[in-house]
Amino acid sequence: MMQYIKVFLITLPIFFLVDMVWLGFVAKNFYQKHLGFIMGPVNWTAAIIFYLIFIVGLAVFVIVPHLESGSVLRMLGFAALFGIVTYATYDLTNLATLKDWPLIVTIVDLVWGMLLSSIVASASFFISRSLFY
């Protein structure tokens, strides 16, 4: 259990840094352009709960199991899969149920989910491996 907590604590700041760069700088205008008509103020409680659950999932299902096996390529594959599954849950549900949900947002988010998971898992994997293995 302690290993999961350590990996979670390593992954937490990495995830926030990478996703905040994406949301705050890289894709800020993209989301405003395509979703501005439905955007409101950020519900930080909901956002933080999502981040914490996502990071737990990444640690439990991707990083720790592959720390034990040592397989970087397999870890990358699982990270990308985890990212697309989690982001698809949100985006494809919105595409299926919300009027005027832009397809381009779904596509970009699915790619971002895979990249975010892969970047964060890789950094966390290598840091955790250098500290604990």
pLDDT tens for residues 66-113? Answer: 998 888 999 999 999 999 999 999 999 999 999 999 999 999 999 999
Q: In the structure, what pLDDT confidence band is assigned to residue 124 with cuts at 50, 70 and 90?
A: very high
For residues 128 and 67, the answer to whether their CB atoms sit within 8 Å is yes
**pLDDT at position 62, please?**
97
Tell me what pLDDT residue 13 has.
97
Q: How confident is the model at residue 45 (pLDDT cuts 50, 70, 90)?
A: very high
Mean per-residue pLDDT of the chain? 96
Percentage of residues in the chain having pLDDT higher than 90: 94
Instruction: State which residues form the domain around 120.
Output: 2-132
Number of domains in the chain: 1
- pLDDT of 70 reads 84
- pLDDT-derived band at 132 (thresholds 50, 70, 90) equals confident
Measured distance CA(13)–CA(124) in Å, rounded:
10
Q: Is the pLDDT at 133 greater than 90, yes or no?
A: no
Mean pLDDT computed over 2-10: 96
Own/partner contacts of 12-21, CB < 8 Å, gap of 24 or more, are: 12/55, 14/120, 14/123, 14/124, 14/127, 15/51, 15/54, 15/55, 15/58, 15/116, 15/120, 16/51, 18/116, 18/119, 18/120, 19/51, 19/116
